[in-house]
Amino acid sequence: MAKSKETANELDAVDRLFADTSQNFSVISALMAGLLSWAMLGYHGRLTRRRMERLQNAPSARTLKAKLVNLNDRQSAYFQGLASVNKEQADAAFRYTALINFTAPITLIVILNQLFPGFLSGFFTDFLGFDEASITLAIALFILATVGPLFHAYISASVAKDIYHLALIDGARRGDRSRAEADGGEDETVEPTDL
């Protein structure tokens, strides 16, 4: 009984650590790091050969690494499990967001335009009375409404992947190769080119 209580307390500590980690690895901090780098020009900082250094030396990663070393093997395994499920959930949310906010509306627009040529432009100009400036503004708002949530979901998936990779690195440092091998060493995160 005392052993199971001790185990429960150990796992509760990991749950708290994971909650803190999720706050430290926020979408806002990842976005700000991107805004302060070449990412705004379409060049991700991890395209260089120093990608592992960048992953492990980010301020949030250093904080997490300092806390992971204090975990015992059971806690580390549990943290890796949480990170794996978190990554899968973030990937699923990204796929859903891409389907609902991007793929479906664009497909609908293309189909309407193919079946009824001029329907959309006629709808905006004749029915709603939009001028060219209003149509341009409507298009810009549509792009923001579709791409904004997609961008947020992609960053969320990337952040979840970073936590997962740091957890795997911690496991590898402990000599635990079984979880990395169970994944086949592959990461199935959906990238925009996969859509």
Question: How do residues 1-11 score in pLDDT, each as one tens digit?
Answer: 556 777 888 89
Alpha carbon 107 to its chain centroid, in Å, reads: 24
User: What pLDDT, in 10s, does the model give residues 120-129?
Assistant: 777 778 777 8
pLDDT in tens, the chain (195 residues): 556 777 888 899 999 999 999 888 888 777 666 655 555 556 566 667 778 888 888 888 999 999 999 999 999 999 999 999 999 999 999 999 999 988 888 898 889 888 988 877 777 787 778 888 888 888 888 888 888 888 889 889 999 999 999 999 999 988 875 554 545 455 555 555 454
CB count within 10 Å of CB 129 equals 8
Q: Are 165 and 54 in contact (CB under 8 A)?
A: no
Spatial CA neighbour of 51 closest among 194, 130, 141, 162: 162
Residues sharing a CB contact under 8 Å with residue 131, sequence separation 6 or more, in sequence order? 125
Tell me how far apart the alpha carbons of residues 164 and 84 are, in angstroms, rounded to a whole number: 6
For the entire predicted model, the pTM comes to 0.75
pLDDT at 143: 85
CB count within 10 Å of CB 146 equals 19
Q: How far is CA 189 from CA 42, 113, 140, 161, in A?
A: 19, 33, 29, 8
